[in-house]
Structure 1
Amino acid sequence: MIEGFDEIVLAWEKHELFYKELYEKKKGNPAEYRRFLSQLNVEDLREEGLVVPDLYDTFEIYGETTPIFDLNTDIAVWKHSRYTPAYLHAHRYFEIVCVVSGHARHRVSGEAVMELQPGDICILPDGVCHSLEVISDDGIVINVMLKKSTFQYTFFDILSSDNLLSRFFQDALLEHKENNYLFFRTGNEEDDTIEYCIKAMFLNYYKHRKYYDKMLKHLVSCLFILLLRNYNKYYIPDKNSQKELKIMRYLQEHYADATLEHAAAYFNYSTSYFSRMVKHNTGCNFTELLVKYRLELACRLLRESRLKVGEICEIIGYRNLEHFNRQFRKEFDRTPTQYRREHRDNVKKDQI
């Protein structure tokens, strides 16, 4: 529990009271609702930044400018106003939608409405149309907005040191498809670290204490690390990415002894069909995918362990050290030993 969070987010703001009245009028007598709308001044509503889809076109593309972002930070953290009417919009920045309590309805472009529950987190890249509706007094949803440059610095800096699975998450957000997003369900965990990160982000931004912008970047990084570390439990793939994710998970568990024949049998496919499916879903054939995974794991072990090159060679599934060295040089234009030396030299420079 973070002291002060509930008191702030549960307090009713002026525009929330307006939206709640609008919602209740719409649920009631249609004639009375039309009469209520007729009394509203569209220009005043626009001036106040209020959204009433039944009166005027509300679609908007929000840019990386104020009032979304402060002048001194690349990250903004807001509470989503309760009872705001659902309306499609897009933005030129990344957004993380975090449900803290209650329920919310989320639609990404043309997809069916998702019923979100506490602990659900959606990461949306720039340019994706979506709508969000929170229709209860206890519905608390925190929106974390990140400029694209900041998102790439935090999220992709973490991913760059991970394995082939990380590339799957990168591609999911960089392909600029109409319905791109990542969806994590974290509410069933006894560990409340993720919830703590979200609440701490909100309070740091809300109170604007000294160094709050630096604290926000660290908290966002922490959130991403927790999501990636526990992706097996949290990540909910959409229909289009389920096959690719299953292949990545298989490689993560069987990289040392995986073969095309064994993998095809594991998924109950013929070898030829599985080979085509891997190529279609990942852009690489099975051998290329396996080599990439093994070499990326080798890089991590070279950077983070004191294991000898021969030991790393055996761990990742190579039986011939010369063959491993040859493939490593072909991929990275340097030997494993040179790679390790360069990485340690760079670390020493950063510490000076």
Structure 2
Amino acid sequence: MEKADIKEKRQHATGWIPYSYYASAIPDYFANVPLHWHEEFEINYVLHGQGEFLCGEERFIAKDGDIVIATPGLLHAMFHCEKTAVRYETVVFSADMLGIETQDRCNATYIYPLVNGTFGITPHITPDTPHYSELRTCVSTIIDCAKANNPMADLLMKSALMRFFYMLWNGGSVTARDKESRLSEMLRPALQYISDHLTEALTIEQLAKSAHMSESYFMEQFKHLAGMSAIAYVNQLRIRRICELLRTTTLTISQIAFDSGFRNLSNFNRQFRRMMGCTPQEYRKFNSGNKNLLNLSNGCLLTA
């Protein structure tokens, strides 16, 4: 089974513009970021509040000023802490920004191992991390350049990224990575099955069977890894898909719901309102034509 089949479908980078910038808030803009992975690097900077991050099997609370890093291929997710909102900025970028296409000793020693997973970066960067002040300055520059989004800013961004990774290596924040944990590996077939059959009827029996586990053990382990039940995870992915279709198509709401895996409209409306804080009709009214939102929004109005 190919790992690439369960990666996030959103395109974050192109050959011409190899990065994307997102301003986010949980739970104001979206309920949470479901478990996923992509082939680009990701840097998150927490502006205000605190949120719970899951990177691999490492779970931690990030707060004001913290930096969270996800390397290519790493399963990661984010959840809001109860009664606490979090606002943060994200830059997702291709290894092309690091000159990965150049075959030299620097890339072979320090960049390729991060891309292929031989080495990993400590995902949670705090004020106690070596070189934190310089790392934070680099991240600030990277974010500003991503927001500027022009060729001159790209040049500065590349230099800031290079310095950022230099400081990570120099400060001991990069270490050899063991092979993917047994739990993550065991659950990947279930994630693959969900991805392949998201618009179809899904049961715990099917998912547990795909992971070669009993139903009770599967439910327990999935919640441990993903931070939510398997059914809640499926519903989040479906609602995420529905939100995009509501924003970008003129299909009827009932057709979108049916095509996204919901067979009962009453259940769909209940799930949508619980997760989004509004009805599908209200969501479409306020967000029609907006194609640039990351993941799920919460509260209909998507202004910062």
With normalisation by structure 1, the TM-score equals 0.38
Structure with more of its chain in helix, by fraction: 1
With normalisation by structure 2, the TM-score equals 0.43
Structure with more of its chain in strand, by fraction: 2
Q: Which one has the largest radius of gyration?
A: 1
